[in-house]
Structure 1
Amino acid sequence: MMKRINIILCGLLAALIYTSCSHDLLNIENPNEPTTGTFWKTEDDAQKGLNAAYSRFYKEGTWMRWLSFRYDLTSDEGWSTSPWNELADWTRFNYVNYNFWEGNNVHWEDFYVSIYRANQVLTYVPEIPFENSTDKDRVIGQAEFLRALWYFQIATLWEKGALVLEPKDGSYKPEEVPAAELWAQVEADLTSAAAKLPDAWDAENRGRATAGAAKALLAKAYMQQHKFAEAKSELQWLIDRENSLYGLMDDYMDNFTHYNENNKESVFEIQFNDENKGGTGNDASMATGFQRTQFYAPGGIGWQDGKARAWLVGEYKREKNLDGDNDIRLYHNLYYKSSPADFPDENPLIYGRQWDDGAWGDHLFIRKYSTGYYRDREDYFAPNNYRLIRYADVLLMYAECIVETGGSPEEAAVYVDKVRRRPSTNLPTLQNSVFASALNSKEAFLKRLQMERALELCFEGWRWADLKRWGLLDTQTGIDELKSRDADFNNFIVDKHKRLPIPQIEVDNSDGKLTQNPNY
């Protein structure tokens, strides 16, 4: 979508609308500056307002940059060796300054500004006359999806927050609600969105939210609350459309380059490109590239702030594929010193370079989404889309829901096997693998599924939510398991660090309506 339509001016427009309703400096009005009262009049206005809501993906506090630190590096998949100590500390549960921008406040601000833009659409578009009611419904449905997506992050990261459902001015004091109310709003928005959105869009609008995207995200919200029967029902809709709307790409790597975007495995992806190379403000050169790659790449290529944990290599190498080779996902997901020996038929170079013993030592770097497949260094403008929800994830979630609702491991394994048997992965079925005992009980299957999800979905932003859903962050036993994979969990305090502290400035400015999280 955003690679096909101009969203930059729409972002500028939304910024003007946002700021125009605050102060009445000398009561002077600029007749050329749009305001809430003059703007929301036509179908074109509605579409521009919606595009401005989508443009919020191009902010540092989202998946564009810093949110991956929260989800990838704070989980047991990754860690940070950034020389910026405060940044690294926020991936290892050393939270001192609750107003640390890159670790906390940037997410809160970007999420709530994004919600504000979605709320503008949901407040004003219903009053705009449309030639076709379906077109209006689709605008509203997309805004509902986007608002739900942001509230999903708030519920996951802080477990409470302000529930704002209409545009507010600068005098508004946020009043907190618990996670249950946030999740209820996510459910309501996504249920409504799924009923309004199309199954697919034409080529000019590819990348917009669809009914399947709304249902998949709704399933995730249900699963986080252990509502597995409801989640299974939503996922069933996507499963029933395998081979028509959805499916797995034969080549795993097709999901992470800019060559095969919006393919059949994509349920929802953020549209990045390298056409604009400015900053992340609301100006005409606003950056629209994927910036995480710059922070994860090895030194001399990128900033090497984010790295992979070594246990992943060991887990990938616990079994061979049907050709007797190592799992190709290991090659595509991680760089490490012995990778050329483990994959003698693959390119041994990294961004065209040999392994640098002096600068890189024995560290492990994150290859997934890197652009070394076509260039020799990273920057802040990687062009590859971020696949927020893939059909492989849907299959693995569906398997989890089957056993959580009384189905057998054998029944659930069918869907795990689809992912394992992808042509480029070519692993044996679970029944014929070294993990066959996973089919002996629900508990054994779910434990194996935890690893199957890591091997397929590592560094795609879902591991933190998974750890929370599985209860691994709730007990010392769970934390001890995570410590065995990630030393940062030695700093983890049960009933504290499973949620972030509320930005202190927000607490201080709320007149007591927003309180700090427990144990902070």
Structure 2
Amino acid sequence: MLISNLINQEIMKANKWIVPLLMLTMVIFSSCQDYLDFEPENTIPAEGFFETQEHAEQAVNSIYAHFRSWEMVSFAFIIMQEIPSDNAVKGSAVGDASFINDFDNFAFTPNQFVLKDYWAGRYRGINKANQAITNIPDISMNESLKTRLIGEAKFLRALLYFDLVRAYGDVPTPLSVPVGPEINFRTPKAKVYEYIEQDLLDAIAVLPDTYDAANKGRATAGSAKGLLSKVYLYMERWGDAERMATEIVSSGKYSLESNFYNVFRVAAENGPESVFEIQAQQIEGNWGVSFSQHAEVQSVRGQWGWGFNIPTDDLAAAFDAAGDQIRKAATILYKGDTTPDGDIIAGVPSLEGIDGTPRYNGKAYYPPAQQLFGPYGSGQNIRVLRFSEILLIQAEARIRQGNASGAVEPLKLVRNRVNLPEISSPTLDDVLLERRLELAMEGDRFFDLVRTGKAASVLASKGFVAGKHEVFAVPQELIDLSEGNLTQNPGY
């Protein structure tokens, strides 16, 4: 979060640079149809906006605010980025949102609405980013701020396209407004990655390393470098991934939180381990600005939340086999556990897909004593990129280049925090297992299995078909709206 104030001896989150965003989003951008959601957008915002420095700031702030919307961080996020993996199952009550099981067993069709939610949510954000990138250059304002705001918009657009290209492969890539016919045609995946890379290089060149307290949480040069290092892994440009990760490690601006459990608590938000987070807040009396259901949909059913996205026995066994009880305890909350914050996990007697003790995603846990307003956990920032992942990217990239000895130190740092021994001669599988345990339930496992070529074997029992399920189906409704210009992925 950007600013933490003690009000009535409780934590009140006051993200002042995004408080006005709900109104901005509703009033300014609602006049423009969202990319590939309904009919193509061919207009710019209503006359009278994008005229002042304040408008420029509001426009970019609205992109940040969009990231905590339902389509970005709630059902579509957990259903498409965790449920298809070996880390999670639907959970909740038997029959509740049973369509989620279609993603767990790879039985979804192009008409499944979640596919459209995921797609539309990201293109809504791209729409906002393109509005800013296209219109801010013509505003008479502080030139330094103008440059920075455009850089922030490019970073956020790159993050949105990164989600899309991992999920669907080839995707349309509108880069400005008004748009032309390109929004109805899929850009080859390799070209999408080129656009992402360029946006991030542009952002790196202009974004600051840090911000003052009032702006903490905005994208930095380190955020852009961190995302680019991850993008390079997907592009299999190992040397570039190592170089970019090493720049972050060598900068001295980031470090690991000493206590793994605390990484996901409010006190550590935007701390030294944070490379980028989606900012959340609680503003009493303003439900819209306080709205985020990322934690609520996953948290303890019958107590604080809905109980979806439940850690599997397979994940628990992976923690046990590694002797990793610290990360297991922070990642998986079992019925009957008492958290370090003193809350007893009660919940319901059973969850769909779980034969043993009910359990929940511990990283979505939000101590209820800190809940002031809005849905449960609406004050909890959503971790997108952490320094521990940068260390693991550095380690993986070095091993991919035959430098296993160079992977020892970054891997050691990650493991030392959770009291695991050093691996003196690490292999690629060692690093990939470390990614699974460190980043479990954070939305990377399915994409990691796909990019490393392990999905077909690891997920075979769930119904994964090689040559088909590496990407999701393009929403059929959008193919129909494009009059067939959008094409479907193979096998659907």
Instruction: Give TM-score, length-normalised by structure 2.
Output: 0.87
Match of 1:309 in 2: 312
CA distance in 2, matches of 1:358, 1:72: 20
Q: Deviations over 1:339-376 (max 9, x none)?
A: 86xxxxx7599942457656785343221121247479
**Are 1:165 and 2:137 counterparts?**
no
Could you tell me which residue of structure 2 aligns to residue 135 of structure 1? Answer: 145
- Match in the other structure for 2:364: 369
Q: Work out which of the residue numbers 329, 336, 344 in structure 2 matches 1:352.
A: 344
- The Cα offsets for residues 326-351 of structure 1, whole Å up to 9 and x where unpaired, read as 621111110236x86xxxxx759994
- The answer to whether the Cα contact below 8 Å between 1:349 and 1:355 also exists between their aligned partners in 2 is no
Distance 1:376 1:176, change over 3 A: closer
Are the equivalent residues in 1 in contact too, given 2:64–2:278 (CA < 8 A)?
A: no
| Bigger shift: residues 12-21 or 67-76 | 12-21
The 1:8/1:108 distance shift into structure 2, 3 A limit, reads farther
> Would the aligned equivalents of 1:413 and 1:430 in 2 still touch at CA under 8 Å?
yes
Matched, 1:246 2:244: no
Conserved 8 A contact 2:85-2:446 = yes
Sort the Cα spacing of 1:66 and 1:19 in 2 relative to 1 into closer, same or farther, 3 A: closer
1:224-272: CA deviation from partner (whole Å, max 9, x where unpaired): 0111111111111101123xx1000111122111122110000000111
Q: Does 1:184 align with 2:194?
A: yes
Tell me if the contact between 2:173 and 2:183 (Cα under 8 Å) persists in the aligned partners: no
CA separation of 1:90 and 1:421: change in aligned 2, threshold 3 A:
same
Q: Is 1:99 aligned with 2:107?
A: no
Question: Do residues 458 (structure 1) and 440 (structure 2) align?
Answer: yes
Q: 1:230, 1:348 → 2: CA distance?
A: 40
Q: In the superposition, relative to structure 1, how do residues 92 and 375 fare at CA in structure 2: closer, same or farther (>3 Å)?
A: farther
1:390-444 superposed Cα distances (whole Å, 9 cap, x missing partner): 000000110001111231x22201110001111xx2222123xxxxxxx2xxxx7
C-alpha distance 410-509 of structure 1, shift in aligned 2 (>3 A): same
Q: Match for 1:480 among 444, 451, 457?
A: 457
Give the match for residue 25 of structure 1: none
The answer as to whether partners of 2:174 and 2:183 remain within 8 angstroms in 1 is no
Aligned counterpart for 1:230 among listed residues 225, 240, 252? 240
Kept in 1, the 8 Å contact 2:291–2:375? The answer is no
Q: CA 1:416/1:507 → structure 2, altered by over 3 Å: closer, same or farther? A: same
Q: Check whether the contact 1:269–1:385 (CA below 8 A) recurs between aligned residues.
A: yes
Which residue number corresponds to residue 393 of structure 2?
397
Find the aligned partners of 2:341 and 2:135 in 1 and give their Cα distance. Answer: 53
| Distance in 1 between residues matched to 2:368 and 2:331, nearest whole Å | 12
Counterpart among 269, 282, 302 of residue 274 in structure 1: 282
Aligned residue identity for 1:99: N
SS of the residue corresponding to residue 79 of structure 1 reads strand
Residue of structure 1 equivalent to 2:449? 467
Give the whole-Å Cα distance in 2 for the aligned partners of 1:38 and 1:402.
Answer: 52
1:5 to 9, 16, 28: 16
Question: Cα 1:353–1:171, aligned 2, differ >3 Å: closer, same or farther?
Answer: same
- In structure 2, what is the Cα distance between the partners aligned to 1:5 and 1:347? 31
Q: CA separation of 1:295/1:420 partners in 2, compared to 1, >3 Å: closer, same or farther? A: same
| Correspondence for 2:137 | 126
Q: Gaps spanning 5+ residues in structure 2: where?
A: 3-13, 34-43
Contact 2:348 2:358 in 1 (8 A): no
User: 1:269 aligns to what SS in structure 2?
Assistant: strand
Residue 497 of structure 1 corresponds to 469
Aligned residues: 463
C-alpha distance in 2, partners of 1:155/1:290?
24
Closer, same or farther: CA 367–35 of 1 in aligned 2, 3 Å: closer
Structure 1's consecutive aligned runs of 4 or more residues displaced over 6 angstroms after TM superposition are 169-172, 375-378
Aligned counterpart, 1:260: 268
Distance of aligned partners of 1:383 and 1:19 in 2 relative to their CA distance in 1, 3 Å threshold:
closer
User: Could you give the per-residue CA deviations for residues 113-146 of structure 1, whole angstroms, max 9, x where no partner exists?
Assistant: 1101100111011111223x22111101000001
When structure 1 is superposed on structure 2, of 493-502 and 461-470 the one drifting more is 461-470
Unaligned runs of at least 5 residues, structure 1: 23-33, 278-283, 321-325, 341-345, 432-438, 474-478
Deviation at 1:54, TM superposition (A): 1.3
Letter in 2 for 1:392: S
Alignment CA distance shift 1:402-1:268 (3 Å): same
If asked which structure has higher relative contact order (CA below 8 Å, sep 6+), I would say 2
- In the alignment, structure 1 residue 430 sits paired with structure 2 residue 398: no
Please say if residues 57 and 64 of structure 1, whose CA atoms lie closer than 8 Å, have aligned partners that are also in contact: no
> Within 1, Cα distance between the matches of 2:195 and 2:245?
19
Letter of the aligned partner of 1:206 in structure 2? K
Q: Post-superposition shift, 1:298?
A: 3.4
Aligned to 2:119: 108
For 2:103 and 2:295, the matched residues in 1 are separated by: 19
Residue 288 of structure 1 corresponds to: 290
1:448 matched residue in structure 2:
430
> Which secondary structure state, in structure 1, belongs to the residue aligned with residue 72 of structure 2?
coil
Determine the C-alpha separation between the residues in 1 that align with 2:211 and 2:129.
20
* Preserved contact between residue 276 and residue 289 of structure 1 (Cα < 8 Å): no
Query: Is contact 1:290–1:385 with CA below 8 Å preserved after alignment?
Result: no
Q: Give the 3 Å change call, closer, same or farther, for CA 276–497 of structure 1 in structure 2.
A: farther
Amino acid at match of 2:108: Y
The separation in 2 between residues aligned to 1:165 and 1:507, in whole angstroms, is: 20
User: In the aligned structure 2, how far is the partner of 1:169 from the partner of 1:348?
Assistant: 51
Residue 378 of structure 2 is aligned to residue 382 of structure 1: yes
For residues 142-188 of structure 1, give each alpha carbon's deviation from its aligned partner in whole angstroms, at most 9, with x where no partner exists: 00001101100110000011110112479985221111111111001
Q: Distance in 2 between matches of 1:315 and 1:406?
A: 26
Name the SS of the counterpart of 1:427 in structure 2: coil
Change (3 A) 1:80 1:113: same
Shift of 1:306: 1.7
> Aligned pair in 2 of structure 1 residues 196, 187: CA closer, same or farther (>3 Å)?
same
Identity percentage of aligned residues: 29
* 8 A Cα contact 2:341 2:367, kept in partner: no
Q: Tell me the distance in 2 between the aligned counterparts of 1:379 and 1:39.
A: 32
Q: TM-score, normalised by structure 1?
A: 0.82
Partner Cα separation in structure 1 for residue 308 and residue 103 of structure 2: 12
Contact 1:289-1:381 within 8 A present in 2 as well: no
Map 1:7-86; keep pairs closer than 5 Å. Answer: 7-20=18-31, 35-82=45-92, 83=95, 84-86=97-99
Which of 1 and 2 has greater Rg? 1
> Equivalents in 2 of 1:403, 1:50: separation in Å?
38
Partner Cα distance (1:225, 1:291) in 2:
32
The residue type equivalent to 1:4 in the other structure is: N
CA distance 1:21–1:105, shift in 2 (3 Å):
closer
